[in-house]
Structure 1
Amino acid sequence: MSLIAPDLRFDPASLDATGSVLSQLASSPGLSRAELMEAAGLSRVTLAQRLSALAAAGLVREGEETVPSGGRPTRLLGLADDAGCILAADIGEQEVRLAATDLSGVILRRDAIDFRPTDDPEATMERIAAAFEALRQPGDPFVAGIGISLPAPVDHRAGHAVGPSILRGWDHFPVAGWMVERFGAPSFAENDVNLITLHEHLRHHEGDEAFLFVKVGTGIGSGLMTEGRLYRGARGAAGDIGHIQFFDDRAPPLCRCGKLGCLEARAAGWALARDLRSQGFEASNARDVIAHVEDGATEAIALVRAAGRAVGEALSDAVSILNPARIVVGGTLALAGEHLMEGIRELVQERCLPLATRDLVLTASSTPDYACLVGAAICVRERVFSAAGVDRFLGRYGRWFAAQAG
């Protein structure tokens, strides 16, 4: 059955009250009309009217897949992913990666600009905004939202970094608010590890009810998905295992955060590079450490193995508290493979109760360089089409669509 016959005299007011339907469609890979009617709590006639309005605006797709319906098979409905685009930026330690994606997070175009953590935040945002403009092309769809990944603790509600972090002068700079002012679109800032967690979970391990991703690279952090949602904690600090502190008979090493004995100061890429330099090797970051491991340097291998045991010690506490079904270890140091993973597994198995580890899957993953960009797009989609955000989206989109049609 065809959804509608498009009306060239589109009225934005026709989208009033369609938010609950669109929100349901955006949160599912596909729904039948019967499923959508039940989820939205609407009658068949009311649902048909609202679907017609959404389809007239190009917001609903009817897929090829069909499901039994008691009569003729019915096609599944979903959000039209090409109805808008999402702009995403991943601010790293050496560059800012940028992308324009469709509404599902599929990358349409990518770019990168140079960056250093000491760069001024205002000037950096200007450069990101210019790069976003360059990414867009004539005829590109409506900008649904903007997502920014930060290598720092993030207050996700306020949309800014909260120090200490490697970003100098960024503490409380209004990253999300700045983008809202420039583009007039909903904008969100999020910690990079949380965004990689979204990418890893939704693209590869969506069936896991409790999923923990651990990034072991230049820094160390983790993200937790529970019942399909990212768990951020009260202010967004959940998963910051890199600053769990350990004290033993040795003098505790100084961390970049200013505290003593943090996991990062024992096992992160910058700390291993520090220890390699003290042994006469040239090393400044996690990639240099991995290069020495691949060259067979026994000193580098020993440091990575010790790092694995330190990470395993921290993760054993996380497993006991959170009881995840799966732990995926990514980041640059995960490229060391079993040199890192053996120590992690050993400590987790040794320190946790059998009930917590009996079905636990613990694996390494090669994190693609675009993971934060896809994660940022997923984050934007979830928040723009949430019950709290969808009506604002429809208001903006309706005005834009009417202008295009007129």
Structure 2
Amino acid sequence: MAEQPPATRVYLPPDGGPREAGPGHVLQLVASGTARTRAAIANATGLSRPTVAQRLESLFAAGLVRESAETESSGGRPAKVLTFQASAAVVLCVDIGEARTRVAVADLVAGILAEEVVAVPVAAGPEALLRRVVATARALLDEPEVPHAPLAAVGVGLPAPVDFATGRPVGWSVMAGWDGYDVRAHLGGVFDVPVVVDNDVNLLTLAEHRTRWPDERHLFYVKAGTGIGSGIVSDGRVNRGALGAAGDIGHARLSGYGDPACRCGNAGCLEALAGGWALARDLSGDGSAGEIREARDVLTLVRRGNDDAVRRLRDAGRTLGEAVAYATSLLNPRVIVIGGMLAATGDHLIAGVREVVYQRSLPLATRELTITTTQLDHHGGVIGAAYLAADSVLDPATVDRALARSDGETRTLRWVLA
């Protein structure tokens, strides 16, 4: 398996205002590394020492936190260090792509434990594809690398706009036959755990933010692959928009390029000019590069040094840069990350993006701007799905509700995450 960036802590989201410091909030303080001792929890929450002890006892019983042998000096008697148990449960991660789907099992800090690729296209339909996903997931959960811990949740990425509240794909996408399909109910009925579903680029954005830029509050992620999409981190959170369509720059129209037909039915879309499928179309049309059927063929040609493919990719970078320049002036991110298959071709694509963004964006918007390529390769989608799933079950309110239903007996993690 390719080396992954370290995932060592749970993310503590930006404070949305006053909230009761129940066991769930204490768990996040420990898991994020914000508070490592009982005294630190008391200082952070204002809770009394007996109340802190009560909160921790429920988390100890649930297997989510333990008090290690390590101690930390606090000016008096050394205090035992509290640690989050990332292996207390596992999450299932599903990154559905146009031609193939990556299925993985991860711990509660998005460390990938086992994974497999399913070669079933989305065109096969939801029943056929999800049937293979379920079979693959069950096999992965039995792998020796996966601890005998309960499955806590499922995170799913779809190559389509997603209504985050319902987990259903909505509007036009490459997922013909999936519009409105209840992915959450399908997988939840099989695994009997919470299922969260989001757009695939949002998950790539989430993974990039958490693993590489956790301290940046404003980030813009662009996926340049077969199609083109983007994700927005605003004030530390992924911004999905009103209906899940935020970041769909691939179908924004750019004038002055001849208005080629797009897969969505419109003309002149950014994706029809600079997407991987459009580059394959253009290279195949002139006949100089042989048989070109998809974006991966373009990638192969570029790596072989084909002059026409390199030239077209650089032009695509400049075209993409126009859309990114508009987004830069609108959103004022501190970091722009370019990912996707076309970003894996060296500097050809990103050089064009940088050139146009710095030329056309407002000077104030680019004063402290970093434009870079992703380091997450093909694991980004499942890492993002793992974070999404873990966040859903480790949310303070969710943990508090689960613990409040206890009958007072020793709690099991399966009960806590039910």
TM-score (norm 2): 0.86
Give, in whole Å, the separation in 2 of the partners of 1:393 and 1:272: 51
The answer to which of 56-65 and 117-126 deviates more is: 56-65
C-alpha displacement at 1:244, in angstroms?
A: 1.3
Cα gap change, 1:64 to 1:353, in 2 (>3 Å)? farther
Opposite residue 35 of structure 1, the aligned amino acid is: A
SS in 2 for 1:145: strand
1:241 corresponds to: 249
SS in 2 for 1:221: strand
C-alpha displacement at 1:169, in angstroms?
A: 0.6
2:91 corresponds to: 86
Match of 1:124 among 129, 142, 148: 129
C-alpha displacement at 1:145, in angstroms?
A: 0.6
2:196 corresponds to: 188
Are 2:52 and 1:44 aligned? Answer: no
2:10 corresponds to: none
Are 2:342 and 1:337 aligned? Answer: no
Give, in whole Å, the separation in 2 of the partners of 1:402 and 1:316: 47
Cα gap change, 1:238 to 1:402, in 2 (>3 Å)? closer
Give, in whole Å, the separation in 1 of the partners of 2:401 and 2:190: 17
The answer to whether the Cα contact below 8 Å between 1:107 and 1:374 also exists between their aligned partners in 2 is yes
Opposite residue 33 of structure 1, the aligned amino acid is: R
Match of 1:150 among 135, 155, 158: 158
The answer to whether the Cα contact below 8 Å between 1:309 and 1:347 also exists between their aligned partners in 2 is yes
SS in 1 for 2:25: helix
SS in 1 for 2:243: coil
The answer to which of 307-316 and 55-64 deviates more is: 55-64
2:386 corresponds to: 377
2:331 corresponds to: 322
Give, in whole Å, the separation in 2 of the partners of 1:237 and 1:218: 18
C-alpha displacement at 1:202, in angstroms?
A: 1.1
1:265 corresponds to: 272
1:115 corresponds to: 120
Give, in whole Å, the separation in 2 of the partners of 1:49 and 1:355: 50
Give, in whole Å, the separation in 2 of the partners of 1:215 and 1:356: 21
SS in 2 for 1:369: helix
Give, in whole Å, the separation in 2 of the partners of 1:288 and 1:216: 15
Give, in whole Å, the separation in 2 of the partners of 1:402 and 1:192: 28
TM-score (norm 1): 0.88
1:347 corresponds to: 356
Cα deviations by residue, 1:314-367 (Å, 9 ceiling, x for unpaired):
011111011111111111111222221221111111111211111111112344
Q: Within 5 A, what are the aligned runs for 1:181-260? A: 181-248=189-256, 250-260=257-267
Give, in whole Å, the separation in 1 of the partners of 2:196 and 2:352: 37
SS in 2 for 1:94: coil
Give, in whole Å, the separation in 2 of the partners of 1:86 and 1:285: 33
SS in 2 for 1:261: coil
Give, in whole Å, the separation in 1 of the partners of 2:379 and 2:150: 22
Q: Within 5 A, what are the aligned runs for 1:22-61? A: 22-28=27-33, 31-61=36-66
C-alpha displacement at 1:267, in angstroms?
A: 0.3
Identity, in percent, stands at: 45
- The total of aligned residue pairs comes to 387
Cα gap change, 1:258 to 1:68, in 2 (>3 Å)? farther
Give, in whole Å, the separation in 2 of the partners of 1:146 and 1:276: 40
Structure 1: which 5+ residue stretches go unaligned? 1-16
Opposite residue 257 of structure 1, the aligned amino acid is: C
1:9 corresponds to: none
Cα gap change, 1:301 to 1:191, in 2 (>3 Å)? same
Cα gap change, 1:62 to 1:196, in 2 (>3 Å)? farther
1:285 corresponds to: 294
The answer to which of 206-215 and 258-267 deviates more is: 206-215
What is the RMSD computed on CA atoms of the aligned residues? 2.4
Structure 2: which 5+ residue stretches go unaligned? 1-21
